[in-house]
């Protein structure tokens, strides 16, 4: 059932397994970083990989800027999300941005894009500030209570959940209160690890969902001998039920006579704005309740671990670069002395804060790679031509068959020396305080954020990137004003679908932690 693709002319690394090809190297959470870096170092912008079932499943690994432009912008409806991605997200959340393609996806973005506009981000500021002040109080109390080493990830994760809960849904998970459990957030946390454990099984999902009726499939799953499959099913049930309860509460909170004008709660969270926009939308664009539920689940899923990972990375880098941390603190303190809690434009206008965020998100993108499948035959042009595997011909464009998988190398594009210069693999916020090298301005990667691929680009670019940027910048200003971060015990960054810090041994997902040494800023 996998179409053979004629990519053999494209050079690529040797497969390490006859049936898994390069699969275990590409998705290895420990050695993956080096494998990906070497792909770009050794093959430039494009390489051929063999994946499941060996040479039959050839895939393209892409970091070439023109090729990326074609994949995510020009021919984005040819290079769509993989069937596995769409099907598993549909099973978890129902209809959402993560489970639709083509016109259906475009129609949803038409309503959702304005909901994430800068105007609404400004309104979110008032919801966000109390959250990061509460976070700071907790961390200060940890230090005052004698805890020198604090698991920063635990608290960043809780804060990220509150930002996306309160800012996204107008709902609190009470994430800072360790005595209160929350079934929704506890269950959502299981999704990432379950997906990782079911990675191989999920390849078969698109075929499995075509077997029999939904009732029959459900019975089959219930009878599965694998506990992880039953857990996935339970997770899906709970996510749907919890999202439905929250939505019902919101809708009941609205004056049912006047859906358009009456705000829900503050009325500023993304879901309230969406409910109003949906009520105002043309009938053919309007989303049914089931779809609103799908979007709710996917916002939480997409906005929680990603920003947790980004915030942890920034604090980790700052802990290891004390001079950069002091410079940033000086900028923050000067601005907070003048403005107190900054408004949106002041916050976005802090130059060194902006440089630190850009540089960390460039060098350490929380989502290091993404997958796509071609929906018809297509030709992929290259900015940087390559030599064929037999070195006889120069290849400027690659004919690709329908149903070929393509890996978008976010990490490869973001750290390519040909774009960013010889110091591309170093963390240097200063690069953003001066003009970028000519190579970077000339080439311009097609990403929406700082010409990097971190939040992707085109019609499926991250819809929440302004939300995430504001959340990160605000958290950093509030924390750095009062707290100093220094390195703690060694950790390892696991290259999962979303990269995460691991304490004990690489690959041990049970100890996701970022222990840092915290102290108070001397007045
Ligand atoms: C640092 C934080 C974040 C990073 C690095 C990030 C990155 C990304 C990337 C790479 C994609 C493309 C996925 C794909 O094409 O398969 C994406 C999509 C998406 N993101 Fe984010 N994201 C972040 C934060 C957020 C937040 C805070 C939200 C919501 C509040 C969010 C909501 C979404 C949604 C709904 C999509 C699907 C868009 C679509 O398919 O049209 N993200 N994000």
For the annotated binding site for heme, the residues are 462
3-state secondary structure 14-75: CCCECCCECHHHHCCCCCHHHHHHHHHHHHCCEEEEEECCEEEEEEEEECCHHHHHHHHHHC
Give the atom of ligand 1 at the shortest distance from the alpha carbon of 81.
16
pLDDT at 510 exceeding the cut of 70: no
Decide which of 444 and 315 is more confident: 315
Interface confidence (ipTM) of the complex: 0.99
Burial 384-418 (b: 16+ CB within 10 A, else e): bebeeeeeeeeeeebebeebbbbbbbbbbbbbbeb
Which tops the pLDDT comparison, 398 or 252?
A: 398
**pLDDT exceeds 70 at position 438:** yes
Give tens-digit pLDDT for 388-435. Answer: 998 999 999 999 999 999 999 999 999 999 999 999 999 999 999 999
Where is average pLDDT lowest: 1-15, 84-98, 363-377, 424-438?
1-15
Per-residue confidence band for 508, with pLDDT thresholds at 50, 70 and 90: low
**Is 454 close to ligand 1, i.e. is its CB under 6 Å away?**
yes
pLDDT bracket for residue 182 (50, 70, 90): confident
Which 8-state DSSP code applies to residue 449? B
Calculate mean pLDDT across residues 133-140: 97
Between the two ends of the chain, the Cα-to-Cα distance in Å is 66
Alpha helices in 175-288 (DSSP H): 183-197, 199-202, 205-208, 214-222, 227-253, 270-280
Q: Is 373 in the pocket of ligand 1 (CB under 6 A)?
A: no
On the 0-12 / 13-18 / 19+ scale of CB atoms within 10 A, 366 is buried
Closest-lying ligand 1 atom to the alpha carbon of residue 304: 27
- Confidence band, pLDDT 50/70/90 cuts, at residue 265: very low
Q: Answer yes or no: are the C-beta atoms of 358 and 420 closer than 8 Å.
A: no
- Confidence bin at 46 (pLDDT 50/70/90): very high
Q: How confident is the model at residue 264, as a pLDDT?
A: 34
pLDDT tens per residue across span 445-500 = 999 999 999 999 999 999 999 999 999 999 999 999 999 999 999 999 999 889 99
Bridge partners for 424 per DSSP:
none
Query: How many Å lie between the centroid of ligand 1 and the Cα of residue 304?
Result: 10
Cα(415)–Cα(5) distance, rounded to whole angstroms? 28
Give the mean pLDDT of 126-135. Answer: 96
User: Does 108 contact ligand 1 (Cβ within 6 A)?
Assistant: no
- Ligand 1 pocket check: which of 114, 300, 306 to mutate, most ligand atoms within 8 Å of Cβ? 306
Mark 16-31 as b/e (b = at least 16 C-beta within 10 Å): eeeebbbbebbbbbbe
Mean pLDDT score, 207-215 = 68
Per the annotation, binding residues are 462
How far is Cα 376 from Cα 379, in angstroms, rounded to an integer?
Answer: 10
Check pocket membership of 357 for ligand 1, CB cut-off 6 A. no
pTM of the shown model = 0.92
Q: By the 8 A CB rule, do 75 and 81 touch? A: no
């Amino acid at each position: 059932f996998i179409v053979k693709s004629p990519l053999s002319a494209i050079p690529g690394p040797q497969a390490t397994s006859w049936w898994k090809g390069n699969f275990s190297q590409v998705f290895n959470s420990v050695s993956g970083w080096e494998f990906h870096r070497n792909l770009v170092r050794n093959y430039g912008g494009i390489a051929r990989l063999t994946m499941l079932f060996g040479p039959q499943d050839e895939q393209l690994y892409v970091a070439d800027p023109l090729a990326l432009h074609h994949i995510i912008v020009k021919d984005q409806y040819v290079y769509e999300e993989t069937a596995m991605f769409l099907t598993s997200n549909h099973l978890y959340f129902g209809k959402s941005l993560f489970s639709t393609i083509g016109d259906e996806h475009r129609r949803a973005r038409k309503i959702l894009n304005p909901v994430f506009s800068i105007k609404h981000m400004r309104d979110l500021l008032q919801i966000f500030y109390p959250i990061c002040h509460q976070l700071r109080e907790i961390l200060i109390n940890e230090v005052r209570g004698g805890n020198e080493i604090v698991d920063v990830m635990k608290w960043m994760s809780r804060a990220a959940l509150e930002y996306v809960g309160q800012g996204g849904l107008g709902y609190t998970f009470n994430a800072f209160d360790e005595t209160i459990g929350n079934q929704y957030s506890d269950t959502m946390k299981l999704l990432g690890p379950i997906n990782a454990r079911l990675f191989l099984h999920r390849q078969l999902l698109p075929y499995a969902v075509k077997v029999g009726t939904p009732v029959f499939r459900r019975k089959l799953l219930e009878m599965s001998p694998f506990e992880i499959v039953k857990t996935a099913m339970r997770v899906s049930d709970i996510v749907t039920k919890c999202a439905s309860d929250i939505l019902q509460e919101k809708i009941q909170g609205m004056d049912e006579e006047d859906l358009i004008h009456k705000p829900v709660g503050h009325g500023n969270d993304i879901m309230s704005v969406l409910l109003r926009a949906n009520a105002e939308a043309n009938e053919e664009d309007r989303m049914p309740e089931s779809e609103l539920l799908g979007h709710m689940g996917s916002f939480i899923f997409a906005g929680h671990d990603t920003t947790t990972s980004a915030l942890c990375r920034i604090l980790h880098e700052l802990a290891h670069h004390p001079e950069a941390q002091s410079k940033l603190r000086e900028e923050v303190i000067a601005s907070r002395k003048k403005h107190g809690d900054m408004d949106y434009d002041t916050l976005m206008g802090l130059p060194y804060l902006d440089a630190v965020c850009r540089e960390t998100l460039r060098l350490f993108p929380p989502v290091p790679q993404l997958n796509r499948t071609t929906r018809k035959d297509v030709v992929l042009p290259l900015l940087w031509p390559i030599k064929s595997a037999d070195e006889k011909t120069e290849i400027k464009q690659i004919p690709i068959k329908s149903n070929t998988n393509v890996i978008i190398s976010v990490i490869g594009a973001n750290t390519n020396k040909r774009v960013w210069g010889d110091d591309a693999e170093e963390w240097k916020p200063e690069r953003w305080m001066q003009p970028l090298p000519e190579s970077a301005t000339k080439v311009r990667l097609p990403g929406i954020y700082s010409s990097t691929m971190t939040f992707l680009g085109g019609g499926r670019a991250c819809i929440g990137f302004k939300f995430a940027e504001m959340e990160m910048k605000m958290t950093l200003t509030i924390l750095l004003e009062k707290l100093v971060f220094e390195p703690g015990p060694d950790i390892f960054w696991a290259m999962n679908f979303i990269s995460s810090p691991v304490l004990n041994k690489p690959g041990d997902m049970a100890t996701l932690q970022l222990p840092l040494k915290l102290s108070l800023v001397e007045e």
